[in-house]
Structure 1
Amino acid sequence: MDTEAVRSFVRAAELGQLQHAADELRVTQQAVSKRIATLERELDVRLFTRTARGVELTLDGQAFLPHARNIVTGVDRAVTAIKPGSRALRIDVLGLRSAQAVVLHDYWRSHPETDLDVVTLRVNDPRVAVTAVQAGDIDASFRSVTDPATLPRDVQMIHAFDSPLELLVGPRHPLASARTLTPSQLRRHRIWVPGIAPRSEWAEFYDQLATDFDLRIDAAGPNFGNEVLLDILADSADVATLVGSRDRYIWPTNHDIRRIPIVNPTLAYPLSLIFPRANPHPGLRAVITHFGSLAPLPEPAWTPSWATTPRRSDGTIEHTRRQRSLPAAHCRHH
């Protein structure tokens, strides 16, 4: 059923004249007449009778009118629900316990009037997220394309914030009593990071991290999720992993797991935000401004070579490479 024909019928019924309905709908009277005639053929009933003063509803038309109004209202609500600026700001994060979700939650608590829809695309390849941004399925995505030159011209990527890394260990691990650790102290220790997906940004991150600091990062074995990982850490005397300082992890109190900051340099994961160049969602700028209120990285810091430059004071971004500092974590941690 042609919803514009239904809309024409409703307005003609409410206004009593085809010309008035046509004027309101910004089409010709002939177009309104054709739409209604088509609708009558489809329904196999007459909806109007013509009078000297315009049109009047038939009994079938009177019966159809309330349902037709519901159809028009439903279509309008459906369009509003997906129209940028009318619907909720839809942002993709890598996980609902990730640093990205935590920062967005902090923003929402300060601005509870914000209509925010936090989603997880559950894809590893950032190019899939870029496609979703282009298609308008999401308004922004916390992903990083490690070679910004390959970004499509109609999307942009900005630096959002950095997530410092911490070592996560159980009570029997030899580093468990440390209050802070330097990267050199991590050498020769097994850092287990299951679930490093090929072609993902975090795969490249861990690659550079291991190379630059001569770390033993092990991705072997299946990824059974955070709960299993935490159980293994709690019982192990030689396994550790890396997490972001803002990432949320919950474990039983008897696990006695410790989170130990890494310093000199701080290792941090640079989180980027991808969104359309033209007509971004009007609610997005306030979220981006919120990133600027976050505490800066403790210096010195390390991030991978593909980390983007922080925002300028006017909120704009240029894609340039900066000195090596560090990012925060892979899909488990984001």
Structure 2
Amino acid sequence: MIKYTLNRLLAIIPVLLVVAIVIFSIIHLTPGDPATVMLGSEASPERVHELREELGLNLPLPQQFVQWLTGVIRGDLGNSVFLQKPVLDVFISHLGPTFSLAIFAQIIAIAIAIPLGVLAAVKRGTFVDQAIMSIALLGISVPSFLLGLFLILFVSVHLGLLPVAGYQPLSAGLIEHLKYLLLPAFALGFMQSAIITRMTRSSMLDTLTQNFIKTARSKGVSQAIVVYKHALRNAFVTILEVIGQTFTTLLAGAVVVEFVFNVPGIGQLIVNSIERRDFALIQGTVLLIAAGYVLINLVVDLLYGVVDPRVRLNRK
């Protein structure tokens, strides 16, 4: 287990290096002068030249990349030009809303998906199965931001049950915190629940045909115990993998939903930093998101051995 974990941690290094090269290249090869964008079109050429020298934009791109990468290795992601703060501090200050939104959305997705997926597998071929799969297809087809707009129009504007947009931290109270997160979390979680539902149904169908399930039924074990204790437990390894992938998708894919609901999270931070051409903030934020993505996948892999003891991570 320890050897496997160390090998996976070492494998993260080349992945993050590739991410760093790609994001640095995309940002610096984008047309437009960031110094001009920061100062405005009316700024004098002398002031633009001074800012370019201050930010090191006059240096060759390879030299700029080496300087930035050296700082990243030391734990210094640079400073945001507009916010005048270290990139890491800005990222952490915006991580709370995104993390709360992703966790709440994932809870909603799991609460919807696993019962429906199990029910669809048990009722295979019936009207119930077809109805659940139709809902799952709808969830995959409707973009989360569009569902969010419909929820705002119906729940907030017409019914007046929940706030239209905004965010309240957990310090303002749990009820107030969840009140502002419910609509964006449902908009995000509904699409993910559709994916988990389809995978739960597929995995359960494979497990329900196994010989140990037939043996349990022949011994007179009740349907509930067969389904939830034997079948679901054995099918959960595959489901867990999908849950881990959807959670990382929630963290990285909440950009538009956060913008629609005015949630001050990572998504809104990225949008604002792109508009301002804040290079250091964009590079550092994307790199940290990529690091979080691979670490979450590592945690999911390690949980396989907890969910299913037959999985041996130290076996080649």
TM range (shorter): under 0.3
More helix by proportion, 1 or 2? 2
Structure with larger RCO (C-alpha < 8 A, sep 6+)? 2
TM-score for both structures, normalised by structure 1: 0.21
More strand by proportion, 1 or 2? 1
Structure exhibiting the larger radius of gyration computed from Cα positions: 1
TM-score for both structures, normalised by structure 2: 0.21
